[in-house]
Amino acid sequence: MKNDGNASEPRTGGRTARTGVWFVGARGSVATTAVAGCAAVSAGLRPPTGMVTETAPFDGMGLPPLPSLVFGGHDTAHSPLHKRAEHLTDAGVLPHGLAPAVRAELQAADEEIRLGGPLPGDTRGDEELIADFAADLTSFRVRNALARVVVVNVSSTEPLPEPDAVRLPPSSLYAAAAVRAGCPYVNFTPSTGLRTPALTEAAAVGALPHAGRDGKTGQTLLRAALAPMFVQRALEVRAWSGTNLLGGGDGAALADPGAAAAKNAGKERVLADTLGHTPQGEVHIDDVPVLGDWKTAWDHIAFDGFLGTRMILQTTWQGCDSALAAPLVLDLARLVARAHEAGLSGPLPELGFYFKDPDGGPSGLSEQFTALLSFADRLRKGR
Ligand SMILES: NC(=O)c1ccc[n+]([C@@H]2O[C@H](COP(=O)([O-])OP(=O)(O)OC[C@H]3O[C@@H](n4cnc5c(N)ncnc54)[C@H](O)[C@@H]3O)[C@@H](O)[C@H]2O)c1
């Protein structure tokens, strides 16, 4: 199960080179769970359950070992990470006793968090914000003598941008800063990030690998696993409807219809890509603050069988959002760091396994996993 990652680890002067992971939204639930989880697994306090890169097929491919990851980030909030970790413990996301056990690692990451933007009343224009964010990234890399820094967007979901908007959305300001500072980039949210022609082109020119967007952790993971079953068994899906109940910061952000529309577009894409058509039915997201990070997702699938016989499948997924997301965020940071080290650049469709709205590649979960395994083999061979 454990990936020793020894075979081709980057080394400097006999020491394993350290890799920076820079979270945009560093004080949020997903980022805090990732920092605490990385520390807990590194110290052997908890198993790496849910981390695909810690399973046997990923052994020996030169991924940065978990203890070599150094965390920092941007956030517009000020709450200290250890306080956030305490809240996550009270909410049942982190196990009791874990936050105090990894307090030093939370403190170290906290010291590397810089104020993001744009802040209310911010007079800085886009260019100034990009320059400031890029300077923070470069300073983090130099100060910690890091081999590279992977920027991972886990900030609040933005509304879909207006077509005539003159300013870049914040996610794209951070993505532009990542490109300027020479950092590979991962977008774990549905926000625009690097997905503009100008930024994608700039990432290609800078020989930077990137992956996105919007982590596939719950309802959409289930959809990506189930939709191919209907296709392979020649069953006709007529309608696929879904409702999500969740709280926490994500629930509050997704109460904004614009942000929910950005999220739902990715969920629907999974069905359209796999089934070859968009079935009837909608996805709804309801903010229920008392649920915190615990999400209930209900799907109702109406399908036809032999001779048009009508049938229904219903599924109920009850998951802890950040516990589902954090191991994937760590996987992605390690895989994209390794891709950068191997000289890969541009979008990485082989990482579609992790995303609702990937940069191409197959759409069924099983085919996506096969593509990920081929990618691991390729990197193991150094290509
Ligand atoms: N299962 C999952 O948890 C999951 C799955 C897929 C995608 N995501 C996405 O991951 C993101 C994070 O989720 P979360 O539960 O940690 O949310 P959260 O609300 O707990 O954290 C978001 C953080 O982003 C910060 N932020 C907001 N605007 C910012 C800005 N302009 N600059 C810097 N920081 C800013 C907030 O202050 C907050 O600390 C969301 O966009 C969510 O949709 C989560």
Domain ranges of the chain: 11-215+323-380, 219-320
Q: Residue 30 above 50 pLDDT?
A: yes
What pLDDT score was predicted for residue 14? 53
What pLDDT score was predicted for residue 383? 63
Q: Ligand 1, from 23, 27, 30: best to mutate by most atoms within 8 Å of Cβ?
A: 30
CATH class name, domain 219-320:
alpha beta
Closest Cα to atom 25 of ligand 1:
25
| Residue range 59-89, pLDDT digits in tens | 999 999 999 999 999 999 999 999 999 999 9
Residue 100 pLDDT level (bands cut at 50, 70, 90)? very high
Neighbouring C-beta atoms of residue 292, cutoff 10 Å:
22
173, 191, 328, 198 alpha-carbon torsion, rounded to 10°: -50
List all residues 6 or more positions away from 361 whose beta carbon is below 8 Å from its beta carbon: 349, 350, 352, 368, 371
| Residue range 46-62, pLDDT digits in tens | 999 999 999 999 999 99
Query: What residues line ligand 1, using a CB cutoff of 6 Å?
Result: 24-25, 27-30, 74-77, 116, 154-157, 170, 188-189, 214-215, 217-218, 248-250, 253, 321-322, 324-325
Mean pLDDT of the chain: 92
Calpha distance 370→188 (Å, rounded): 21
83-89 LR contacts (CB < 8 Å, sep 24+): 84/27, 84/28, 84/29, 84/32, 85/32, 85/36, 88/29, 88/32, 88/33, 88/36, 88/293, 88/322
Give the residue among 313, 263, 301 at the shortest CA–CA distance from 284.
263
The predicted model scores a pTM of: 0.94
Closest Cα to atom 5 of ligand 1:
215
| Residue range 237-261, pLDDT digits in tens | 999 999 999 988 888 888 888 888 8
Q: How far is the CA of 228 from the centre of ligand 1 (A)?
A: 30
More confident residue, 382 or 69: 69
CATH number for region 11-215+323-380: 3.40.50.720
What pLDDT score was predicted for residue 5? 40
* 379: amino acid identity, one letter: L
| Residue range 106-118, pLDDT digits in tens | 999 999 999 999 9
Label the pairing between strands 185-187 and 11-12: unpaired
Q: How far is the CA of 245 from the centre of ligand 1 (A)?
A: 17
* Contact call for residues 354 and 373 (beta carbons, < 8 A): no
Q: How far is the CA of 27 from the centre of ligand 1 (A)?
A: 9
What pLDDT score was predicted for residue 257? 85
Q: How far is the CA of 287 from the centre of ligand 1 (A)?
A: 15
Domains 11-215+323-380 and 219-320 share a fold: no
**Three-state DSSP class for residue 313:** strand
